[in-house]
Structure 1
Amino acid sequence: MFSSPSKPFLLFIIINLAAITPFLSNAQLNTTFYASTCPNVSSIVRNAVQQALQSDPRIGASLIRLHFHDCFVNGCDASILLDGSASIRSEKNAAPNINSTRGFVVVDNIKTSLENSCPGIVSCADILALAAEASVSLQSGTSNLSWNVALGRRDSLTANQAGANTSIPSPFEGLANITSKFNAVGLNTNDLVALSGAHTFGRAQCRTFSNRLYNFNGTGNPDPTLNTTYLVSLRQTCPQNGSGFSLSNLDVTSPDTFDNNYFRNLQNQQGLLQSDQELFSTAGSATVSIVNTFISNQTAFFESFVQSMINMGNISPLTGSNGEIRLDCKKVNGS
């Protein structure tokens, strides 16, 4: 929660907790799932993320991305963490993930700590959800943004590489396609804009946006929605024949802090990815007014982000006797 929360914010939380309680009940997720079996789970995860941030300021954004890319493929089941095997085609090798997703070592470190503290209890899928929350909380500065994560997910017994190739939104896609992918997993337009706000920190590789700099949509020209001064700066970071793996800040203003500057950047035509800028530059889209609201009211963004993270974390979880609690997040038990 926010420090010294306002009455409207408390009312927002109360209303929305009431609204999602039936959904959480149906999904069998709850915020006290490990209260008796692993009461220190949240602090163990938070401490590991905090330690990782000391040497890698990118890791928070990377951990949120792991949770996002996991949930969009067969639900939040930690399938993204499985290595390839004779029976598993790893999602790590899918186009949206290969040479791109990171943070697996941190997840493994968290799992090791939890196995030492409460063996066989905490799922890898819940680790991803907790690590995402901790990443936001630790990088939200004085805003002190946090929430109670609903828990009780179990881990998948397989992966879905083909699904990862088709279900995860791409930085090259237009707004209509991305909206369709969000709708397919039960997320709406407000969720789309709020979750895109996670790009308020982290980095992106040149190969994910260089087409905007030199040959947008095959025109031989840059994307007209790019601020011209920003274009010059990005071309210096990502020369036309340079390495596609060089990095650029997703948020040109405050790249390592979780705030609402990402949305102000869109207004200034400084969205790094095509999928970012289209939230504001697509005429007539419902996303424009949401972006404007988040620009003028950071608290509104934070409230929406929390609710959308809860919504995303509830995408088709495995619960009850489905799946398993992996002892090693990289492989199915007994393999």
Structure 2
Amino acid sequence: MATKLLAAVITVLALLGHVMGQGGYGPSPSPSPSPSASGGGLAVGYYDSVCPNAEEIVRGVVRNAVAQDAGVGAGLIRLLFHDCFVQGCDGSVLLDATAANTQPEKLAPPNLSLRGFEVIDEAKAALEAACPGDVSCADVVAFAARDATVLLSGSGVDFAMPAGRLDGRVSLASEALGFLPPPTSNLSALTASFAAKGLGVGDLVVLSGAHSVGRSHCSSFSDRLNSSSSSGSDINPALAASLTQQCSANASSGGGGDPTVLQDAVTPDVLDRQYYTNVLNGSALFTSDAALLTSLETKVAVLANAIIPGLWEGKFRAAMVRMAAVEVKSGAGGEIRKNCRVVN
């Protein structure tokens, strides 16, 4: 079976070649080199002169947090995505509610399950002690997501993260609802959401690989467990039965009204390309995961990532850097917060 799949992938790749989205999905597993500069005035080593230990300070805090709970690492990667897709990568997702703004981004339904805020707080406090007023919260979020990626991948996905973002002053729950694609999204909706942020179909497929770590609330995929619905027909029947049992058992045992399950039961605490095998086997949780098989372009990309060693890892590095450069603030458009939870 694996031989047939590999032959199919090679054949399709040969036919499609350069049309397979941003960066292509050719057979070379060589990762793209990390850039020294990025969009929006970002640059690798941005803090070398003003706070030379900035990245190491963040890395130490993240390392300790992930050692205690790998799920926090998954949460930090997700935190970057949710930050960048609303108001750009500006730390706006970190802002708490105030009398002037009772509904910031973090209180929007898609963000209620976000994790890692305390890790960001701890890293920022350490940075303020070492280099007061120099390192933005937005950059802390980006560094933390990179560090979590490195740790959860066993250093299989390591890259330089450009910095120089400023923190935003606007944070609205209504915008989170408008820009964050729900897990029930079809491919058209997902593609439009990524395009709105300057990201391509290739980025969509590659960044979806982050679903190989972490947990998901049962409500996020309950639509696929209903065998009478058209969306539930593509999920692996054995997995559907197991998920139904886990969700109902956890709820009835006092685990809460919306229990969580592993997103990847095969390698749950490892950020790897297992996600793509899960998608092909009908063993990924979300409708948005299954949607990657609904076009030739995305299906071939899923196949390639599942089978070609090193391909996804190299593309994930580049996609994370691209995402972390979305709509960054600069100049009068931002600030460096002293406390990541409140504007100055």
TM-score (norm 2): 0.86
What are the residue-to-residue correspondences of 1:48-197 with 2, within 5 Å? 48-88=61-101, 89-98=103-112, 100-141=113-154, 143-197=155-209
- 1:252 and 1:270 in contact (8 A); partners too: no
Matched AA of 1:324: E
Deviation at 1:115, TM superposition (A): 0.6
Deviation at 1:207, TM superposition (A): 1.1
Matched AA of 1:13: P
- 1:210 and 1:238 in contact (8 A); partners too: no
CA distance in 2, matches of 1:208, 1:308: 24
Aligned counterpart for 1:256 among listed residues 257, 260, 269: 269
Q: Secondary structure at the match of 1:291?
A: helix
Deviation at 1:46, TM superposition (A): 1.1
Aligned residue in 2 for 1:329: 340
Deviation at 1:221, TM superposition (A): 7.6
1:220–1:274 Cα change, 3 Å: closer
- 1:123 and 1:153 in contact (8 A); partners too: yes
Which structure 2 segments of 5+ residues have no match?
A: 1-27
1:227–1:8 Cα change, 3 Å: closer
Residues 172-196 of structure 1, C-alpha deviations (whole Å, 9 max, x = no match): 1111111100001000000001000
CA distance in 2, matches of 1:124, 1:227: 41
Matched AA of 1:93: L
Q: Secondary structure at the match of 1:9?
A: coil
- 2:156 and 2:313 in contact (8 A); partners too: no
Q: Secondary structure at the match of 1:158?
A: coil
CA distance in 2, matches of 1:291, 1:220: 25
Deviation at 1:255, TM superposition (A): 0.7
CA distance in 1, matches of 2:104, 2:332: 24
CA distance in 2, matches of 1:145, 1:308: 12
CA distance in 1, matches of 2:82, 2:127: 23
Residues 107-139 of structure 1, C-alpha deviations (whole Å, 9 max, x = no match): 101111111111111100000000000001011
- 1:175 and 1:275 in contact (8 A); partners too: yes
Aligned residue in 2 for 1:230: 239
Q: Secondary structure at the match of 1:248?
A: strand
Matched AA of 1:174: N
Deviation at 1:102, TM superposition (A): 1.4
Q: Secondary structure at the match of 2:310?
A: helix
Deviation at 1:94, TM superposition (A): 0.8
Residues 48-72 of structure 1, C-alpha deviations (whole Å, 9 max, x = no match): 1111112212001100111100000
Aligned counterpart for 1:9 among listed residues 5, 30, 34: 30
* Residue 314 (structure 1) aligned with residue 334 (structure 2): no
CA distance in 1, matches of 2:243, 2:136: 40
Q: Secondary structure at the match of 2:216?
A: strand
CA distance in 1, matches of 2:185, 2:194: 13
- 1:200 and 1:250 in contact (8 A); partners too: yes
Matched AA of 1:45: V
* Residue 289 (structure 1) aligned with residue 300 (structure 2): yes
- Structure 1 window deviating more from structure 2 (230-239 vs 240-249): it is 240-249
1:220–1:189 Cα change, 3 Å: closer
TM-score (norm 1): 0.89
CA distance in 1, matches of 2:62, 2:56: 10
CA distance in 1, matches of 2:156, 2:225: 36
1:296–1:113 Cα change, 3 Å: same
Q: Secondary structure at the match of 1:204?
A: strand
Deviation at 1:234, TM superposition (A): 0.6
Deviation at 1:84, TM superposition (A): 0.9
Residues 214-253 of structure 1, C-alpha deviations (whole Å, 9 max, x = no match): 26xxx45871111111111111111297544211111121
- 2:97 and 2:104 in contact (8 A); partners too: yes
Q: Secondary structure at the match of 2:333?
A: coil
> Identity across aligned pairs (percent)?
38
Deviation at 1:40, TM superposition (A): 0.9
CA distance in 2, matches of 1:232, 1:187: 36
Matched AA of 1:239: S
Deviation at 1:313, TM superposition (A): 0.7
Matched AA of 1:327: K
Residues 62-92 of structure 1, C-alpha deviations (whole Å, 9 max, x = no match): 0011110000001000000000112223111
Deviation at 1:321, TM superposition (A): 3.8
Q: Secondary structure at the match of 1:58?
A: helix
What are the residue-to-residue correspondences of 1:208-247 with 2, within 5 Å? 208-214=220-226, 219=228, 223-239=232-248, 243-247=256-260
